[in-house]
Structure 1
Amino acid sequence: MKAIFDERQWAHDPKHFMANGVVLPNPEQPERIERLHAGALAAGCTFETPKDAGLGPIAAVHSPEYLTFLQTIHKRWQFIDGAGQEVIPNIHPSNRTDSYPKSAVGQAGFHQADSACPIAAGTWESAYWSAQSAITGADALIDGTRSAYVLSRPPGHHAFGDQAGGFCFLNNAAIAAQRLVDHGLTPAILDVDVHHGNGTQGIFYHRDDVLTVSTHADPERFYPFFWGHGHERGAGAGLGYNLNLPLPRGTNDADFLTTLDTALSRVRAFGADVVVIALGLDAYIDDPFKGLAVTTEGFARIGAAVARLNLPTVLVQEGGYLCDELGYNLTSVLNGFQGA
């Protein structure tokens, strides 16, 4: 299988993460790249570097105001007396229509949903090349390749059109899907991460040209809390084009796969001619976030189930955090997909 990755994705090295009022080391570490890269190679992937398609395909999903913020905020942050090395918000507007301040602190609060997406010197460069990798993956399908794996890091599915969150800055899966739309295709996004892809949902919620489906741990007591519930079906033209399938904490292989069948049935009903998989591996039973209980063998069955759609597929990396089995779980998904 073709795989895409750019070495500049190593530059993002976040230090801070706040959980339950405690400042902890950030789980989205560069070491994820090493383990995922090894896992893809073990599945027979051949890596290539992405082409630079410029800002256009990214701006098709993200607002120019937000892209300006991402490119400039770290430098501006350094002019604040006593500021930390990373941009971390400490105040947020009550809604997206509140005033847009000139202050770097105020803009950080507007454009960063939480404290899990600190911005440092290398963040924009890594996020940019993570997105370019996803664009190149989409382009591979446009050019006739049947499948591709994209090692996108930092991940993307919690990024809205104008807001970072949950380790994510640019929504790689959404950017890939929009690229496919722009070339006349009809994509479905299927998100199998343990966390709901709230940014992806938000980007396409009012649209009927992209189907968004997500299987994830029930957000009633799990991040991202405010999105991912079953009653969220889309709005306006997009009503009926968003499907959330929340799962109880600790859901095992069998129950996850039963729910995945429902997700795949919706993809077929949509008439998709191409699929973007937002490939989270953090549904694993021993992932640090402990949301679901999928096993390494379960990931192989997930990959095989997706392959049975028999559609061109780009698998874009989302979550999956540092544990001994991270690389093996990626190998399992890709081998299951290729062996189906």
Structure 2
Amino acid sequence: MVKGEISNIFKVAFLYMATIIGAGFASGQEIIRFFSMYYAGGFFGIILAGMLFSIIGYIVLNKVFSERISSYDEFLFPMTGYFLGRLMEFIVMLFMSCIMCVMIAGLGNVLGELTGLDYKYCIVISAAATLLAIMTNIKGIVAISSVVSPVLIAGIIFVGFYILASKDTSVFSISGKVKLLTDNWVFSAILYVSYNTIISTVLMSRMLPYLKSGKVSKWGGVLGGGMLCVTALIINSALYSFYPHSIISEIPVLGIIQNNSKLLSHIYSIILILAMYTSAVTSGYCLTERISSKMKINYKLVGAVLCAVAMPMSTLGFSSLITTLYPVFGYLGLFLMFIILFQFVRGYITRPR
């Protein structure tokens, strides 16, 4: 494997991860709701999710490379047919809209806390920064993810180990109970992979220019899923040490480290900003690209309108999004995940020996 291939593999892996490591992941909310609440089962759930992410990344990217797919329509419709494809497309666009709006709102909140600026000005800044990245199209998104994703992974892992090393639950108190999303860790892990597959497939179907060889397409997905698994295991270990104390915080990881280190809490706030920004940009790009290509409207105009509309739509709370909308889209995304896996298995069985 040549040096250029290794570089492209990591580039593709980081871009794949950028669609999944968003604010929900970095804050700890997703990890708690989908894994930590199942105690020891949560660790097995993360391993299962990591395996599924690797398998799906492998399948989708290999399909994009081997069939020279350059758009989401070319990826989706041959598998689902017209009617189901249109239904799935509507679900995808709705989910991307929700993610984009809430992440811009989250950016505004964190920026306001760090800078002291009025919330409405922080929202404008967040939307403008998101729009600037969207305007760069897929090349800019790849460049951003190549820089931001390694920083996110390093920051999350460092903070995870810091929490484990400085465990002190005496500053917490418990109030109330939190309802489990599902009855078992297996289905919870599947739901987690399912709703993340909705957006990640949109972005992966546009990655043909970066899939220079079959090795890049195959190993990019596998590596991305593997790194996600390791990072999630570290965060879960840290949150599990504080469970159920950690569930009372809107942003669990930040809530824990604020009681131990003010400096580290400010640093992690910046990591959260990067995570929210990455989520807003990737979902905003995917949504802009879909609307622009389907309605034949100027790409930059669509991006500007979407960012403008997203500014007033900041009423949903961060944790309520994780606990209500994400599982709903997880159920809706099960069909897409099943179709991807089924098509791969059927193709493998029927392939000439």
TM-score (norm 1): 0.28
**Going by fraction, where is helix more abundant, 1 or 2?**
2
Larger radius of gyration between Structure 1 and Structure 2:
2
Per chain length, whose mean CA-contact separation is higher, i.e. which structure has more relative contact order (CA < 8 Å, sep 6+)?
Answer: 2
